[in-house]
Structure 1
Amino acid sequence: RKGLALRYGRTMQCIAGIHYNFSLPEALWPLLRDAEGSSESDRDYQSSAYIALIRNFRRYSWLLMYLFGASPALDKGFLRGRPHQLEELDGETLFLPYATSLRMSDLGYQSNAQAGLTPCYNNLDSYTDSLRKAVGTPYPPYVEIGTHVDGEWVQLNTNILQIENEYYSNIRPKRVTYTGERPIQALTSRGVQYVEVRCLDINPFLPVGIDLTEARFLDAFLLFCALEESPQLDNGECSQCTSNFLTVVKEGRRPGLELHRDGQPITLKAWATELIGRIGQLADLLDRAHGGDEHAKALEEQQAKVDDASLTPSAQVLARMTEHDENFVQFSLRQSRIHAETFREQPLPAERQQAYETLARDSLAEQSRLEQQEVGDFDLFVGAYQASILAISN
């Protein structure tokens, strides 16, 4: 983590969000491939389908920011004197009145070094090629710092990315890696296994930051992205997707807000209502598979937010701060204490507590054993790790 702290600052690393992993059953992909009459192998068809899901996610992820964005304000100290266009809510708090997720704006976890890095999601090869280039291309400000300061490692290399997982994106194609294997190697050799959604804010009104209602909507939304037709993205549509997303994170609750679809203006409310209606067909299928109507209810709850922006988490954050006459830090501490008390009132059963304590002891013992077996120094390890990216480039 030292290299990340040096590149982006410790304050930036305090930003937290939810990563939501999603996959479809492995047995489904061959059935879909046969139904489409595709000549691709099972592995290649599955990878292509997940990349197509990601393209649709880029088209529609602005909806998630409207519905679940929960960071319309921040403490003044976070910016540390950086220029901004935020407004003052009080003496200690900055905000934008219609923002949904400042965390996902250019004020959040971003990197100037990565500004020109836009991996293409039209196929897996172009995506991995973009990342491979980034982990092998020096970035002058990082070169100036160097890899060592006073004989100590401060970053693994001086390239745009130290490792692939340093790339900031709203969603990633993923594959579980073997010990010592790089993410690019796993994707290249075995294809995409699941996607990782990375743009979701922690909801400060929920004890664990997310609830089943949100998860059920996400499942229906991502299933929609997977099954909906997903044409290739050209440069114009890529820019439009990015613009729509950034517009919603900064002013998604603005009355009458317009986005752009196929180059034409459309109100957020009209487009969101249309999308939720189409996603509803998948929610109905999920309810038929699981029994009950929980997915349909989850969609109804999201439609209510579209109809009334005051019901969104971002609006609720500002409303509660105003109601209690508190700044951002005071609001955050009050919610944290509420959630802490919730968990204290629900202690783990004794047998489960004991099981976790045993797992913790065993884990620490295993860590100690592995550390005692380690041979060689860190310099050699880093050298071998860096060389591995060259091996899969050739």
Structure 2
Amino acid sequence: MNSTNRLHLLKQNNQQSLLKNGLKGIEKESLRLSKEGFIAQTRHPYQLGASLTHPHITTDYSEALLEFITPPYADINETISFMHNIHQFVYDKLDNEFLLATSMPCGINGDESIPIARYGDSNIGKMKYIYRKGLWHRYGRTMQAIAGIHFNYSVPQNLWPVLHKLEGSTQTLEAFQSSAYFDLIRNFQRQGWLILYLFGASPAICKSFFKSRPELMSQFEEFDNGTLYHPYATSLRMSDIGYKSNNQANLDIDYNSLDGYVNSLSHAIDTPYPEYANIGIKVNGEYQQLNTNILQIENEYYSTVRPKQIIKPCEKPTLALKRRGVQYVEIRSLDLDLFNPIGIDANRGRFIEALLLSCLMQDSPEISSDDFSTHNTNQLKVAHEGRKPDLTLIKDRQSIRLQDWAYEILDGMQEICDILDENEAGNLYNQALTAQRELIDNPELTPSARILARLRTEQLPFARFADQLSQQHAQNFYAQKLNATDTLKFTQLATDSHAKQREIEANDSLSMDDFLEKYFNQS
């Protein structure tokens, strides 16, 4: 049975309340800047814990690119509250530094100004460093300094056996769950451009961003002496400003099944790429990258949405999926909301949850290579010119106005929002839906338009505007202290993480060469 009847089946059997209480987690990246507004050259603060082993405070590409990770909660307010507490704890420990509130980096001075993250002397720590070194050789460091928000969502576990039975599936429950997650993923690929329109907050870029790749500047218009932009851009972070190399553009990753996805991604990790062979794996005895293949590891493949399974220590993500199926999805297309001190609010989280459930409930035909290309084209169009009047996209091989399609998507979410609000106070999901309707009615209300309006009104280059807003957020955090209980909890987590890193380092018995061989030969 296809998924057209999913919502109908649930309602017919009075099981629609099972859509409630899916788990929501947030991962948020922020660039650490010096008090002068330049990318921090200091090491990851020791008091925050060990970036290799801390469950909630780590680093992404750069030593200066902090990453905060919440646990997953059924109530988005708890997720937001935890993220706020992380920020508060971090600010209590930062010494004359602050977090950049924008996705696009400012305060950088070419690739060499961006320190690659270090994770200690263990094999797994060195592997993480070598992987990042490989990204530098392949794409440059500057692209890796871009920050974003990843929204992790797990469909309520109680829903799966009921849906499995109602649909009369002959698959195992685990296989059915994975298959349904891929239904969701394909529909998000079709409709995910909406996230860029509604929440994109990177319509402008500091000229300093292009110091190591000045040839890319010609793609943009000049806003002022220090800023480049596109007049109708929504999310230049999600555009093609250089991250996607030709090899990734030509990858044909299969999203029609779990097996297809795992096999096609594994193939890319196992397939040599001549340009990367020229870099070499080891030069003068020092690793330059993990391998010379199209992808070093799974994480190198850039996509707006990923199927995820919790991995065990040193387990390959594709193997975790193959062994235990899909546990949740990671939505990767959210810019930081620079008007919000932590980059996201509960309203946005509720909207995304309802959108993802809507994607799960709708029919989701398989995607061809041509379809995938179309979805990518739609996304790039919205990233570069999403607020352009009467902009058209391609839906079902037909041209459609962005606004018309957006209204269709929101109309399709209405029933889901009603169910999520049933017997709850405040109609919060409907409020989230209404708030986004207003942005479709009036593009000037979108974050991207508001940013450009502020730059014009205040006659500020993007870097200065980002700096001022970031400093305001910092002052708010400096003005309040985290409560004693949570401070103690985070302090203990930091202490435990250092102890765990020392334990991992002490227990290493393999050489780096043998460790990598063992890692990549897992099956």
TM-score, normalized by length of structure 1?
Answer: 0.96
Cα distance change on mapping 1:172 and 1:364 into 2, 3 Å: same
One-letter amino acid of the structure 2 residue matched with residue 4 of structure 1: L
Partner of 2:482: 348
Partner of 1:51: 182
CA RMSD after TM alignment: 1.3
Tell me whether 1:132 sits opposite 2:263 in the alignment. Answer: no
Q: Secondary structure at the match of 2:201?
A: coil
Cα distance change on mapping 1:151 and 1:121 into 2, 3 Å: same
Partner of 1:70: 201
Deviates more, 1:343-352 or 1:116-125: 343-352
Partner of 2:299: 165
Q: Secondary structure at the match of 1:135?
A: helix
Shift of 1:324: 1.3
For residues 453 and 252 of structure 2, what CA distance do their matches in structure 1 show? 37
Deviations 1:149-174 (A, max 9, x none): 22111101000111111110000111
Give the count of matched residue pairs: 389
Partners of 2:337 and 2:344 within 8 A in 1? yes
Determine which of 488, 503, 506 is the counterpart of 1:369.
503
Partner of 1:246: 380
The within-5 A match list for 1:110-121 is 110-121=244-255
One-letter amino acid of the structure 2 residue matched with residue 56 of structure 1: N
One-letter amino acid of the structure 2 residue matched with residue 82 of structure 1: E
Moved over 3 A (4+): none
The within-5 A match list for 1:86-235 is 86-107=220-241, 109-235=243-369
Deviates more, 1:280-289 or 1:200-209: 280-289
Shift of 1:288: 1.0
Partners of 2:139 and 2:242 within 8 A in 1? no
Tell me whether 1:29 sits opposite 2:163 in the alignment. Answer: no
Partners of 1:15 and 1:109 within 8 A in 2? no
Deviates more, 1:22-31 or 1:310-319: 22-31
Q: Secondary structure at the match of 1:179?
A: coil
Q: Secondary structure at the match of 1:82?
A: helix
Deviations 1:341-388 (A, max 9, x none): 121223101232122112211221221122122212111101111222
Deviations 1:40-98 (A, max 9, x none): 11011000000010010011001111000111110112123123421000111110000
Shift of 1:282: 0.6
Tell me whether 1:256 sits opposite 2:390 in the alignment. Answer: yes
For residues 250 and 176 of structure 2, what CA distance do their matches in structure 1 show? 29
Shift of 1:122: 0.9
For residues 107 and 348 of structure 1, what CA distance do their matches in structure 2 show? 39
Deviates more, 1:21-30 or 1:245-254: 21-30
Partner of 1:311: 445
Deviations 1:227-276 (A, max 9, x none): 11111123333232222111111110001111121122211111111211
One-letter amino acid of the structure 1 residue matched with residue 284 of structure 2: D
Partners of 1:139 and 1:158 within 8 A in 2? yes
Deviates more, 1:104-113 or 1:13-22: 104-113
For residues 8 and 76 of structure 1, what CA distance do their matches in structure 2 show? 18
Q: Secondary structure at the match of 2:182?
A: helix
For residues 108 and 291 of structure 1, what CA distance do their matches in structure 2 show? 46
Q: Secondary structure at the match of 1:145?
A: coil
Partners of 1:67 and 1:305 within 8 A in 2? yes
The within-5 A match list for 1:80-91 is 80-83=213-216, 84-91=218-225
Partners of 1:103 and 1:109 within 8 A in 2? no
TM-score, normalized by length of structure 2?
Answer: 0.73
Instruction: Give the structure with the higher percent helix.
Output: 1
One-letter amino acid of the structure 2 residue matched with residue 29 of structure 1: W
Give unmatched runs, 5+ long, in structure 2: 1-131
Give unmatched runs, 5+ long, in structure 1: none
One-letter amino acid of the structure 1 residue matched with residue 510 of structure 2: G
Shift of 1:108: 5.5
Determine which of 400, 409, 422 is the counterpart of 1:288.
422
Deviations 1:197-225 (A, max 9, x none): 11111111111111011001001000100
